[in-house]
A = this chain, B = another copy of it.
Amino acid sequence: MKNIPFATIERVAKYLRCLKRLDEKKVKVISSKELAEHTKTTPEQVRKDFSYFGRFGKTGTGYDVKKLARKLESILKTQKKWNVAIIGAGALGSALARYPGFKESGYDIKVLFDNDPEKIGKKISGVEVVDIKKFGDTVKKKNIQIAIAAVPKESVNELEEAIAKSSIRGVINFVPVTLNFKTRRKIFIIDVDLAQKLYIMTYLIKRGKGMK
């Protein structure tokens, strides 16, 4: 299970999303060919990705959708529930606090942080907005491992400082800058670039067909 490429993990998360949708539609069995079509990759790639994690199905009979989804979820999530904090209670942070997809996948938004006295103490979609100055203590008390960064560019320094001093293990970063934590502790960062999807879309539109 060592040295699994990052791209494989990204694809496994895609396969999982696809399988959950199929399960909702009562699809029972899927071949690697069909799974590849749904997730815009090749059957060879699907089988290679799965080979990192052991054997998932018998050759020729396809995969059991529900079982495979459960297996992939256990690989990615490794525990039932994770607690998440959102930093920044502006438009994007508030929208993310309301996003139903997180809870459905077992990720609980426990708290929002902001530095605006107008926002602190209020609730957004049932989630309290707490002073960013109380970040470290709150994260500890609420057993939070992951932060979602959704502050304006100008507040990035304050965010970096709060995270560096806390016990946060990973950051999903929506701020269009490269985060830099002054700590020797390992903090994982995943950057989300919403404009990237538009770049891919305009490419698709201009090329028309001809995509594998």
Contacts and interface: CB of A to CB of B under 8 A. Distances in A.
Interface stretch (A59-67, A131-139, A201-209): A201-209
A134 B91 CA distance: 26
Contacts of A100: 176
B195 A190 contact: no
A197 interface: yes
A169 interface: yes
A35 B19 CA distance: 33
Contacts of A200: 9-10, 13, 76, 190
A211 B202 CA distance: 32
Interface string A3-16: 11111011001101
A54 to B, nearest CB: 16
A143 interface: no
A56 interface: no
Interface stretch (A77-85, A114-122, A158-166): A77-85
A99 to B, nearest CB: 6
Given A104-B176, A198-B107, A170 B204 contact: yes
A195 B104 contact: yes
B98 A202 contact: no
A121 to B, nearest CB: 20
Contacts of A146: 198, 201-202, 205
Interface of A: 2-7, 9-10, 13-14, 16-17, 21, 40-41, 73, 75-79, 82, 84, 91-92, 94-96, 98-102, 104-105, 107, 145-146, 169-170, 172, 176-178, 186, 188, 190-212
